[in-house]
């Protein structure tokens, strides 16, 4: 994979910048953590070289100064809200996050249950936390939040919330998902710390949009594509422009809420140390792009990938026409079409040529490999085999998996398991090659090529099964599919 981002530089300057921010206040900083911490695959796709766990590794350099507070909304607990990517409820994810952090030797101080209004499910969850020896605190809804500043910054507002006891200079406030109350928890702590004579600080740690890249830079457009379902919009930060006469990029929600935050800071401290929402951020990622051309290309690929994801959801019955239309508009801003990805065009051409569903992959050296479906293999399984044979310098016409091995598998799938599709999936092909590799050097050599597929772009002219999607994800390929269901 071609690298466009200096990950080592990022780990160094981001941690240094956070230390500087802590020093701006009385040695106490509450940092709201947005986005994914353990597996930021969006960032790794648009900034090739960024590791999915870079943020966690960066925070690891500050481990002895960090305490983590996990926030969850009582309303989400009551509704059994589920994380779509993991398929688990938010309360279960709180425990998962805690285990993940502690497994990496981070201190997890407590859990804050926000928006609490006597919800029975929240009470049960708090009892569970207590049984497991986990500290928990309650924060209450405030009438008119976030605009009723006079009430919010008072003993009847933030003053009613439990004071979260923390012991370390950097408190990371994170949550299972958006809307959990991370910002309100940070601000509540500032109010209650101030009552105790401590001038604590607040900062936001969000990767995107990148404030010091142009508004219409592909990396920032890709962020809009990633949040098209939320209808986030990148904007020039007007407060930053007025204060410093410098252009900085932020997004609509932070810009809209800043006047309220400004009033809250003034209500707590008498003044706001920040002159713009951009000032509140600690994002140094824009300084670590080492090859802009590579990142631009990767970001355009990502915009197209998001488009196919959205159209696939629509084909599955989702009511997301506005999301699809938003990404189409972003195509115009990025000056691209789906044909920007060579694999998209190659897969289409293969389908037209053969009259069958087809797939294509672009290897690291720019070589395009294609495949079509057959009675034995689906197009994605055939593509994997073709790519491995090419990389292992095995003759394309040579059969790695004998038909005598494939047919019994097909019989089991159809006759015994009641399946309708006899073709082998990608996982079944890899298992077959693995079994054969003990005695067949070519199968072993083919399997050894799999790491070379990481970062490669793939397109299929038909929507793949969940099994096939997961295989390409594990291989690190950028997969897209036409919104066409298998018949």
5, 148 contact by CB (below 8 A): no
Tens digit of pLDDT at every position of the chain (487 positions): 789 999 999 999 999 999 999 998 989 999 998 777 777 889 999 999 999 889 889 999 999 999 999 999 999 999 999 887 778 999 999 999 999 999 999 999 999 999 999 999 999 999 999 999 999 999 999 999 988 989 999 999 999 999 999 999 999 999 998 889 999 999 999 999 999 999 999 999 989 999 999 999 999 999 999 989 888 899 999 999 999 999 999 999 899 989 988 998 888 888 899 999 999 999 999 999 999 999 999 999 999 999 999 999 999 999 999 999 999 999 999 999 999 999 999 999 999 999 999 999 999 999 999 999 998 899 999 999 999 999 999 999 999 999 888 888 888 888 888 888 888 889 999 999 999 999 999 999 999 999 999 989 999 999 999 999 999 999 999 999 999 998 6
435, 388 contact by CB (below 8 A): no
Q: 394-427 burial by CB neighbour count: b if 16+ within 10 A, else e?
A: beeeeebbeeeebeebbeebeeeeeeeebbbbbb
Q: Provide the CB-side half-sphere exposure for 346 (13 A, CA).
A: 20
Can you tell me the distance from the alpha carbon of 40 to that of 51, in angstroms, rounded to the nearest whole number?
8
Residues of the chain with CATH 3.40.140.40: 341-481
| Residues contacting residue 77 through CB under 8 Å, at least 6 positions apart | 89, 90, 91, 113, 119, 121, 122, 125
380, 361 contact by CB (below 8 A): no
Residues of the chain with CATH 3.10.630.10: 7-217+234-288
Can you tell me the distance from the alpha carbon of 449 to that of 394, in angstroms, rounded to the nearest whole number?
11
Backbone dihedral angles phi then psi of residue 192, each to the nearest 5 degrees: -75, -30
Superfamily of segment(s) 341-481 = Domain of unknown function (DUF1846), C-terminal subdomain (3.40.140.40)
Please choose, from the candidates 243, 246, 252, 245, the residue with its C-alpha nearest in 3D space to the C-alpha of residue 220: 252
Superfamily of segment(s) 7-217+234-288 = dip2346 domain like (3.10.630.10)
Please give the model's pTM, rounded to 2 decimal places.
0.88
Can you tell me the distance from the alpha carbon of 51 to that of 29, in angstroms, rounded to the nearest whole number?
26
| Residues contacting residue 22 through CB under 8 Å, at least 6 positions apart | 28, 29, 65, 169, 170, 201
28, 201 contact by CB (below 8 A): yes
């Amino acid at each position: 994979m071609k690298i466009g981002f200096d990950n080592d530089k990022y780990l160094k300057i981001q941690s240094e910048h956070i230390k500087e921010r802590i020093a701006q206040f009385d040695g106490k900083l509450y940092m709201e953590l947005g986005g994914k911490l353990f597996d930021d695959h969006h960032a790794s796709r648009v900034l090739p070289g960024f590791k999915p766990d870079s943020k966690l590794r960066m925070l690891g350099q500050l481990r002895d100064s960090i305490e983590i507070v996990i926030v969850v909304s009582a309303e989400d607990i009551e509704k059994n809200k589920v994380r779509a990517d993991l398929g688990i409820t938010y309360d279960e994810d709180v425990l998962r996050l805690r285990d993940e952090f502690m497994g990496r030797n981070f201190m997890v101080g407590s859990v804050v249950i926000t928006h609490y209004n006597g919800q029975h499910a929240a009470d049960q969850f708090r009892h569970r936390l207590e049984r497991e020896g986990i500290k928990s605190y309650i924060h209450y809804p405030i009438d008119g939040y976030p605009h009723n500043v006079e009430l919010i910054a008072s003993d009847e507002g933030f003053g009613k919330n439990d004071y979260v006891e923390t012991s370390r200079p950097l408190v990371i406030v994170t949550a299972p998902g958006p809307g959990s109350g991370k910002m309100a928890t940070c601000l509540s702590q500032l109010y209650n710390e101030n009552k105790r004579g401590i001038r604590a600080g607040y900062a936001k740690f969000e990767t995107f949009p990148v404030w010091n890249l142009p508004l219409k830079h592909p990396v920032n457009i890709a962020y809009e594509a990633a949040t098209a379902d939320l209808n986030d919009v990148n904007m020039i930060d007007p407060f930053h422009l007025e204060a410093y006469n410098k252009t900085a990029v932020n997004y609509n929600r932070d810009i809209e809420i800043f006047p309220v935050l400004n009033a809250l800071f003034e209500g707590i401290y008498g003044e706001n140390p920040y002159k713009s929402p951009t000032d509140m951020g600690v994002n140094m990622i824009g300084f670590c792009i080492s090859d802009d051309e590579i990142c631009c290309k990767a970001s355009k690929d990502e915009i197209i990938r998001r488009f196919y994801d959205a159209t696939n959801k629509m084909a599955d019955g989702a009511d997301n026409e506005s999301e699809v239309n938003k990404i189409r508009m972003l195509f115009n801003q990025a000056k691209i079409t789906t044909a920007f990805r060579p694999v998209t065009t190659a897969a289409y051409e293969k389908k037209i040529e053969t009259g069958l569903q087809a797939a294509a992959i672009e290897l690291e050296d720019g070589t395009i490999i294609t495949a079509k479906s057959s009675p034995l293999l689906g197009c994605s399984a055939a593509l994997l085999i073709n790519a491995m044979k090419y990389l292992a310098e095995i003759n394309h016409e040579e059969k790695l998996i004998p038909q005598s091995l494939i047919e019994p598998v097909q019989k089991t799938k159809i006759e015994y398991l009641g399946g309708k599709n006899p073709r082998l999936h990608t996982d079944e092909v890899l298992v077959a090659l693995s079994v054969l590799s003990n005695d067949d050097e070519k199968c072993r050599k083919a399997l050894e090529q799999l790491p070379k597929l990481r970062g490669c772009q793939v397109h299929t002219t038909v929507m793949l099964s969940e099994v096939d999607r997961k295989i390409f994800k594990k291989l690190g390929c950028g997969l897209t599919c036409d919104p066409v269901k298998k018949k």
